[in-house]
């Protein structure tokens, strides 16, 4: 691949889709292809971003307003982009991020009902022209994802405490975004066994890497 700038790959998914295992598969596949990525996450990825993550996921400020929530998400993102994502990409390093702005459209937009045009304004302001080169969305029916997440144990965070309808809206938003831009999005059926999902991820990434290589 001759282009100097690194590539920006994002993994998204509904609750309980299996992102944790999938992140490791994607990281390993990119490394084996010669593009070992910086691995990071949102909200978070920087010391300040991780502090904001605690505010967003913890129950201490459970009743924060929807506007506060979305502004905190973008505050963490601004820090993340400036301190970590852009410097890595500009140095030619690939970046693999566990969630990014598609999660904002899904959770704050479809989930909370924040108008899309407001999110787009913040996206354009905070990100400039930065958009992921590839978004992998792990899709699983909401009930199944919630059952998996409950089997995982642990206390539910502020988002995990939402009702099933909230997650249905989140899932629908992810599906709609994937359907609207087949060049940048890949939808992965995550309802299958872990090994099958891993094999699909490797195949999809392999094909995308070949196309990306041919384009240079
Ligand atoms: N958020 C937001 O609102 N706005 C934003 O802009 C951003 C984020 C960026 C934290 O995200 C929250 O932030 C998130 C949205 C919000 N809230 N929620 N919900 P996170 O990504 O850190 O948290 P998470 O969604 O809870 O993801 P996770 O815990 O990293 O992963 P997961 O996909 O939900 O689940 P998992 O731990 O990988 O797997 C769940 C269980 O299922 C586990 O026991 C696995 O062993 C099992 N599993 C996994 N795959 C399979 C298969 N294929 N079959 C059977 N069982 C499986």
How far, CA to CA in Å, does 209 sit from each of 1, 43, 71?
Answer: 9, 27, 34
Q: What are the domain boundaries of the chain?
A: 8-215
Dist. CA 76 → ligand 1 center (Å): 19
Residue-level pLDDT at 2: 44
Given a cut of 50, is residue 194 above it in pLDDT? yes
The residue contributing the CA closest to ligand 1 atom 24 is 15
Measured in residues, the chain has a length of 216
**Mean pLDDT across the stretch 171-185?**
97
- Closest to 173 measured CA to CA, from 101, 118, 76: 101
Please, are residues 158 and 112 in contact by the beta-carbon 8 Å criterion? Answer: no
Please, are residues 192 and 18 in contact by the beta-carbon 8 Å criterion? Answer: no
Q: What percent of the chain shows pLDDT beyond 70?
A: 97
What distance in Å separates the CA atoms of residue 94 and residue 88, rounded to the nearest whole number? Answer: 7
Residue-level pLDDT at 72: 98
Residues contacting ligand 1 via CB (< 6 Å): 13, 15-21, 42-43, 57, 73, 98-99, 103-104, 107-108, 148-149, 151-152, 159-160, 190, 193-194, 197
3 or 180, greater pLDDT: 180
**Mean pLDDT across the stretch 177-199?**
97
* Confidence bin at 215 (pLDDT 50/70/90): low
**Tens-digit pLDDT profile for residues 17-42:** 999 999 999 999 999 999 999 999 99
Q: What would the two tokens of residue 110 be?
A: 């479809």
The residue contributing the CA closest to ligand 1 atom 4 is 104
Residue-level pLDDT at 152: 83
Given a cut of 80, is residue 214 above it in pLDDT? no
**Mean pLDDT across the stretch 108-129?**
98
Please, are residues 15 and 145 in contact by the beta-carbon 8 Å criterion? Answer: yes
**Tens-digit pLDDT profile for residues 45-96:** 999 999 999 999 999 998 999 999 999 999 999 999 999 999 999 999 999 9
Cα torsion for 53, 141, 203, 26, to the nearest 10°?
10
8-215 CATH? 3.40.50.300
**Mean pLDDT across the stretch 183-196?**
97
Which residue pairs, CB below 8 angstroms and at least 24 apart, start in 81-85? 81/126, 81/127, 81/130, 83/46, 84/38, 84/40, 84/45, 84/46, 85/8, 85/40, 85/45, 85/130
Q: What is the pTM of this model?
A: 0.96
DSSP 8-state secondary structure symbol assigned to residue 14: S
Residue-level pLDDT at 180: 97
18, 57, 64, 126, best to mutate for ligand 1 pocket (most atoms within 8 Å of CB): 18
């Amino acid at each position: 691949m001759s282009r100097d700038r690194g590539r920006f790959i994002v993994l998204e998914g509904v609750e309980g889709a299996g992102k944790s295992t999938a992140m490791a598969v994607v990281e390993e596949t990119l490394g084996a292809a010669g593009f070992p990525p910086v691995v990071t996450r949102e909200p978070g990825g920087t010391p300040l971003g991780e502090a904001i993550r605690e505010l967003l996921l913890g129950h201490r400020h459970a009743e924060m307003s929807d506007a506060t929530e979305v502004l905190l998400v973008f505050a963490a993102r601004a820090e993340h982009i400036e301190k970590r994502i852009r410097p890595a990409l500009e140095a030619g390093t690939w970046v693999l991020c566990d969630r990014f702005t598609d999660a904002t459209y899904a959770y704050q937009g479809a989930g909370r009902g924040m108008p899309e045009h407001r999110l787009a304004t913040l996206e354009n302001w905070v990100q400039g022209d930065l958009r992921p080169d590839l978004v992998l969305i792990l899709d699983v029916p909401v009930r199944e994802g919630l059952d998996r997440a409950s089997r995982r144990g642990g206390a539910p965070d502020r988002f995990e405490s939402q009702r099933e309808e909230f997650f249905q809206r989140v899932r629908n938003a992810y599906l709609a975004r994937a359907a609207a831009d087949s060049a940048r999005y890949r939808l992965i059926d995550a309802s299958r066994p872990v090994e099958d999902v891993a094999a699909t991820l490797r195949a999809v990434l392999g094909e995308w890497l070949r196309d990306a290589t041919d384009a240079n």
